[in-house]
Amino acid sequence: MDFFFEDLPSTSQSTPKKGPEDSRMREDTDHDSLRGKSSSVSTTDIQEQHSRCAPKEPIHDQRVSSGIDDISRRAQELVEKINHNRTSDQNMIDSFQETLIEKVTEMCQQMKEHMYTVYEENSDNMQVKLQELSEVLESCTKLSHELLEASRALASLREGLAISQEIEL
């Protein structure tokens, strides 16, 4: 007895193929399962009618054939279930990835907004400090000019005193 599972989709595929072949296989499977049921009914009827005349081995072969068809049908159902679960898993992962991307994008946007808020606060603080520094530097420049004037005045006074001491002598 040779078993052929050529019509079964591979269990190693990551996502099941959807298309006309898939629906055709389901129809064939449904048709085969109905045919298997009708065969088993007709086999039972035949067995009862010909139990005295017919040899038991052909009936056994029909049962084996029916069992093989049943195993083949169950294998097909398992493959379809596995492929359905894989598709479901893939959809779940895709959904998770989309949600994760949305959350990461949202968090990045929030971080940018916070960063810009901090930049603005720092800029305002720096502006205040720069204004204070500018005022201090302006004051220093003014004081420096006043000190220079005072120094010149003292130098002039010293010269005047030195000349007046020389005249008195």
For residue range 45-77, what is the model confidence (pLDDT) as tens digits?
Answer: 444 444 444 444 455 677 778 889 999 999 999
Q: pLDDT at position 164, please?
A: 79
Contact between 83 and 16 under an 8 Å Cβ cutoff? The reply is yes
Average of per-residue pLDDT across 125-134:
96
Mean pLDDT, the chain, integer: 76
Contact between 22 and 96 under an 8 Å Cβ cutoff? The reply is no
Question: What are the DSSP E strand ranges found in the chain?
Answer: none
**Looking at the 3D structure of the chain, how many domains does it have?**
1
Contact between 78 and 8 under an 8 Å Cβ cutoff? The reply is no
Q: pLDDT at position 59, please?
A: 57
Distances in whole angstroms, Cα of residue 61 to Cα of each of 50, 57, 120? 15, 6, 87
pLDDT of 135 above 90: yes
Task: Give the type of residue at 34.
Answer: L
Q: What is the distance between the alpha carbons of residues 165 and 148, in angstroms, rounded to a whole number?
A: 25
Q: pLDDT at position 58, please?
A: 53
In a domain, 9, yes or no: no
Q: pLDDT at position 160, please?
A: 85
In a domain, 5, yes or no: no
In a domain, 157, yes or no: yes
In a domain, 99, yes or no: yes
pTM of the model: 0.41
Range of the domain at 128: 20-168
In a domain, 1, yes or no: no
Q: pLDDT at position 166, please?
A: 78
Q: What is the DSSP letter of 8?
A: S
In a domain, 7, yes or no: no
In a domain, 112, yes or no: yes
For residue range 11-43, what is the model confidence (pLDDT) as tens digits?
Answer: 444 444 444 444 444 444 444 444 444 334 444
Q: pLDDT at position 60, please?
A: 62
In a domain, 6, yes or no: no
Lowest mean pLDDT among 28-42, 103-117, 152-166: 28-42
Where on the phi/psi map is residue 19: left (φ > 0), alpha (ψ -120 to 50), or beta? Answer: left
| Cβ density class 64-94: b for 16+ within 10 Å, e for less | eeeeebeebeeebeebbeebeeeeeeeeeee
